[in-house]
Amino acid sequence: MSKIAFIFPGQGAQFVGMGKDLYENFDVAKNLFDEADDALGYSIKKICFEGSEDDLKLTANTQPAILVVSVIISEILKSEGITPEVAGGHSLGEYSALVAADSIKFSDAVALVHKRGTFMQEAVPVGEGSMAAIIGLDDKTIVDACEKASEFGEVQAVNFNCPGQTVIAGKVQGVEKAVEILKSLGAKKSVILPVSAPFHSTLMKPAAIKLSAELDKISIADAKFPVAANFTGTLENSAADIKSNLVAQADNAVKWIDCVNSMKNFGADIFVECGPGKTLSNFNKRIDKKIKSLNAENCDSLKKTLDALKG
């Protein structure tokens, strides 16, 4: 019997118009967008459907926007009888996975990731931090180069996404120096990412502290099925572990390769990416070609995925 994993994207997958056709065709989408607007006190629906790209790109908007669309898709799939036995999400996506596993209430998660985005932005003033994707080098080479470059400004490897693609983050000068060193060591490519803060670096410590205080205010339950934790790369069920991992996740690296391998070792052989884009499905191809990946981000791709799973 196939085991299904739901996986949820993080920041960067957003686009204006996302979720609109779902809203027009599914009551659950209407209800969840309305619930999200109430939880936030402003209309995330308006920003998703017709907002300017700049508004949607603001971290405090991007995070709830992606979470809402991702959760809507997982709820539609569940209502069609497609239920995951394990889940995981990249960075922000971990919160979507925890909502899917009934560990965090949807309205709490929406408000929480809005605050998380705000805290992350406040931790490092715009223009002081940077992130870059490094293509074509092994993790150890990248980690070592970041250590060398740190005398120019803090910088670390922060996203271990798939073999040959690792993201670094830190102070602008540190990131620039690390990129220079990595190019000299044979990196095929380095891409400065269009983000407003150095996510998951040690510079996010102030955000982690504020996030911890917010997590104290909400109720977190044991997950109904295991969820891969970015901080450990392992599967977790317990509410206490989930909470401490979410705090640590803010200023530590995302071990996405480990998360996928943990889901795979659990027995998952079909991975369904719920939410905008196909970023995680593309990572899966690099992690293990044998993984069957499907995605659902709108009515069209949702139908194809349902046909594939029910056929």
Catalytic positions, please?
91, 200
Q: Provide the b/e sequence for 164-202 (b: ≥16 CB within 10 Å).
A: ebbbbbbbbbbbbbbbebbeeeebeebeebebbbbbbbb
Among candidate residues 245, 179, 241, 254, the one with its CA nearest the CA of residue 211: 245
CA 51 to chain CA centroid, Å, is 21
Contact 278, 239 (CB under 8 A): no
* Closest of 93, 36, 5 to residue 288, by C-alpha: 5
Q: At what angle do helices 93-100 and 59-79 cross, to 10 degrees?
A: 30
203 in Cβ contact with 129 (< 8 Å): yes
